[in-house]
Amino acid sequence: MFTISSLFVTLAILVPAILARSPLHYHDESFLPDIILRVTAKNISNGCLERYSVVVNGTSPGPEIRLRGGKTSWIRVYNDMDDKNLTMHWHGLSMAASPFSDGSPQGSQWPIGPRRFFDYELHPRIEHAGTYFYHSHIGFQAVSASGPLIIEDRDEPPYRYDGEHTIFLQDLFQATDDQVEKGLTSIPFQWSGETSNVLVNGHGLPVGGKAGSISCSLAAIQLEPDKTYRIRFIGATALSFVSLGFQGHNNLKIIEADGEYTRPLPVDYLQVGPGERFSVLLKSKTRKELQRDRAKGINQYFLQIETRERPQSIRTYAVLTYPGGSSDVSTVPLSPPVTLPNTTLGWLDYQLRPLKPNDFPSLSEVTRRVTITVQQIVNNSITWAQNGYSWTESFRQYPYLVLLYEEQYAMLPSYESAIANGGMDNKTRAFPGKLGEVLEIVIQNTGATNGNLDVHPFHAHGVHYYDIGSGNGTYNVSENEKRLKGTEPVRRDTTMLYKYNQTTTPGAHEGWRAWRLRVTDAGVWMIHCHILQHMIMGMQTVWVFGDREDIRSLPYESVQGYLTYGGDAYGSNTRWPRVMHYWDSS
């Protein structure tokens, strides 16, 4: 007895150690991914409009997927299309430990070619439980190829609620992805057109429209009386920055932003930009209140959504329904039941506080400040430039991480040149950072060459930054330090850069957003505007954290299959992929 159990103990220690020697595994038929996503392109009808779209598992949005913090999960993504590339990005997850799984074709991986598949290894941290989404990172595909991604709490969530609902917001464009991409990169420039609707969970009715097929109707969110719900809002819109609020339910408390729990913050409306996520606690009506409302003829309630900061605001709806009440999803109200304010500049800034201490770096810990000026360059093409340079999909047809593994040392950005040049090495156009640095990144809105200004939801891959606010004019350290006094910044991954005027002098600074971040994870990460049109027009930057040795920490033979387009790490129906296991060795 004694011997056998000690043998087990020995084996339990030895077996993982032996397997750990080879991180490479054939993912043959014996390997079972935790989740499978299949991506196709076809005509779909959402919000009463038929459109050729890239979709996940046949629908837009794709299925909601749920992962557990602290656990390794494998997601197999099939590109079932014949003529398009694909990647899948896990928006908001810090991918530090599995660098080839970030899903950005400019940063971390070759696209999954037609009729290939790729196994993504995700290991969300326990403290990152919250609301995320997945989306393709190629061209304009993310307008439809996306779906909710929830990281569940390992233990009980810190807030009590009786149920939850996801509100997944998407835009609806008449033009196809190909038309949008072609127009935006053409000379002369051609705009994508505006969104024709903001969809909720794939549903919508056009303004003044009539209900028809299943998704040509309003989304219904079912509530029971006397309960507390967690409502997860996911800003998966391509372009639309929206303001939203519920009719008759304005007892809302924000409890999570971008995957970090916050102290409860009461609000009566929300502003959600592309890429942002929030959870709120919503108290449903009591039975008494329902009776009172029904006596007044109110049998259901609307969620009202309005776009902001575009030439025209559009208004769309979903409905909240209760048992015994009405669940009419085919009628848009004649006049808006909710009054939503215009854009609140700096909404939530300096107010949101983390639920738990989050190691916010003080000003004295900041080792370096990098200012990124974002400016539109208008001539017969229109592009977006950061510190004078733009980064489009065609700029460098090579994932940056692959370049570094391929021993293209000339591509390792020079730290010295970057320091001399405001943070960007102007030869590689990348922004380098050393592990251990505490960066302060200031995104500075700048008048276009024709004086125009716009708003931008800025998103960082690979890292959750501490958001230290926003303001008008030019960023001023000492003034912002005064405003930060007594506040507790939260960690975010997408926050808005506002505009403070419709136009300004070309090149003038007009509005900023600032972040602090601790450089802890080596790798290649992108920081970009999350408006898909702006990305296509070059509004992206690439950050290279760590030295050569930090970044190339994996032996060459284990990453070789990742270094070519269609390499061994990519499977097909005639070949099992050879995959590196970063987290678990079995």
Ligand X SMILES: *[C@@H]1O[C@H](CO)[C@@H](O)[C@H](O)[C@H]1NC(C)=O
Q: Which residues form the interface with Cu ion (CB under 5 A)?
A: 456, 529, 531, 534
421 binds ligand X (CB under 6 A): yes
Contacts for 83 with CB less than 8 Å, ≥ 6 apart: 114
Amino acid letter for position 206? P
What is the nearest approach in angstroms of ligand X to the Cβ of residue 2? 46
Q: Which of residues 81-120 bind ligand X (CB under 6 A)?
A: 83-85, 111, 113
Point out which span in 35-43, 123-131, 208-216, 540-548 binds ligand X (CB under 6 A): 35-43
Q: What Cα–Cα distance (Å) separates residue 548 from each residue in 54, 102, 367?
A: 37, 19, 21
In the list Cu ion, ligand X, none, the entry touching 383 (Cβ below 5 to 8 angstroms by class) is: ligand X
What is the nearest approach in angstroms of ligand X to the Cβ of residue 8? 35
Q: In what order do the strands lie in the sheet with 494-497?
A: 430-433, 540-545, 523-529, 456-460, 494-497
Q: Which of residues 39-78 bind ligand X (CB under 6 A)?
A: 43, 50, 52, 57, 63, 65
Phi/psi at 246 (5° precision): -100, 140
345 binds ligand X (CB under 6 A): no
310 binds ligand X (CB under 6 A): no
Instruction: State which of residues 392, 472, 487, 572 lies at the interface with ligand X (CB under 6 A).
Output: 472
The rounded distance, in Å, linking the Cα atoms of 119 and 571 is 8
The rounded distance, in Å, linking the Cα atoms of 536 and 384 is 9
225: region left, alpha or beta (phi > 0 left; psi from -120 to 50 alpha): beta
* Closer Cβ to Cu ion, 278 or 498, answer by number: 498
16 binds ligand X (CB under 6 A): no
Q: Which residues share a beta bridge with 244?
A: 270, 305
In the list Cu ion, ligand X, none, the entry touching 193 (Cβ below 5 to 8 angstroms by class) is: none
In the list ligand X, Cu ion, none, the entry touching 501 (Cβ below 5 to 8 angstroms by class) is: ligand X
420 binds ligand X (CB under 6 A): yes
Instruction: State which of residues 166, 279, 383, 470 lies at the interface with ligand X (CB under 6 A).
Output: 383
For residues 324 and 299, the answer to whether their CB atoms sit within 8 Å is no
Could you tell me whether strands 35-46 and 49-56 are parallel, antiparallel, or unpaired per DSSP bridges? antiparallel
What is the nearest approach in angstroms of ligand X to the Cβ of residue 103? 14
- What does the per-residue mask of binding to ligand X show for 126-155, with x meaning CB under 6 A? ------------------------------
For residues 401 and 524, the answer to whether their CB atoms sit within 8 Å is yes
Three-class SS state of 535: helix
* Closer Cβ to Cu ion, 203 or 456, answer by number: 456
Point out which span in 247-255, 302-310, 347-355, 497-505 binds ligand X (CB under 6 A): 497-505
Please give the span between the terminal C-alpha atoms of the chain, in angstroms, as a whole number. 28
What is the nearest approach in angstroms of Cu ion to the Cβ of residue 413? 24
What is the nearest approach in angstroms of Cu ion to the Cβ of residue 443? 10
For residues 492 and 467, the answer to whether their CB atoms sit within 8 Å is yes
The rounded distance, in Å, linking the Cα atoms of 233 and 256 is 10
Q: Which residues share a beta bridge with 456?
A: 497
Total residues interacting with ligand X, rule: CB under 6 A: 37
Burial code of 471-482, b = ≥16 C-beta within 10 A, e = fewer? beebbeeeebee
What is the nearest approach in angstroms of Cu ion to the Cβ of residue 382? 12
What is the nearest approach in angstroms of ligand X to the Cβ of residue 306? 11
Cα 235 → chain centroid: 8
In the list ligand X, Cu ion, none, the entry touching 534 (Cβ below 5 to 8 angstroms by class) is: Cu ion
The rounded distance, in Å, linking the Cα atoms of 581 and 586 is 8
The two tokens of residue 78 are 């099939």
476 binds ligand X (CB under 6 A): yes
* Closer Cβ to ligand X, 98 or 504, answer by number: 504
In the list Cu ion, ligand X, none, the entry touching 341 (Cβ below 5 to 8 angstroms by class) is: ligand X
Cα 299 → chain centroid: 36
* Closer Cβ to ligand X, 134 or 322, answer by number: 134
Which three-class secondary structure string do you get for 34-58?
CEEEEEEEEEEEECCEEEEEEEECC
* Closer Cβ to Cu ion, 332 or 529, answer by number: 529
What is the nearest approach in angstroms of Cu ion to the Cβ of residue 343? 15
H helices of 67-140, in order, are none
* Closer Cβ to Cu ion, 285 or 456, answer by number: 456
30 binds ligand X (CB under 6 A): no
What is the nearest approach in angstroms of ligand X to the Cβ of residue 126? 22
Q: In terms of C-beta distances under 8 Å and separation of at least 24 residues, what long-range contacts does 49-53 make, across chains too?
A: 49/172, 49/174, 49/196, 49/197, 49/206, 51/144, 51/172, 51/173, 51/174, 51/176, 52/176, 52/177, 53/143, 53/144, 53/145, 53/176, 53/177
Q: Which of residues 542-571 bind ligand X (CB under 6 A)?
A: 565
Point out which span in 328-336, 458-466, 475-483, 486-494 binds ligand X (CB under 6 A): 475-483
* Closer Cβ to Cu ion, 62 or 274, answer by number: 274
503 binds ligand X (CB under 6 A): yes
In the list ligand X, Cu ion, none, the entry touching 456 (Cβ below 5 to 8 angstroms by class) is: Cu ion
Residue found under tokens 């779209």: 53
In the list ligand X, Cu ion, none, the entry touching 478 (Cβ below 5 to 8 angstroms by class) is: ligand X
* Closer Cβ to ligand X, 365 or 479, answer by number: 479
Contact residues for ligand X, defined by CB under 6 A: 35-38, 43, 50, 52, 57, 63, 65, 83-85, 111, 113, 341-342, 377, 379-381, 383, 397, 420-421, 426, 471-472, 476, 478-479, 501-504, 510, 565
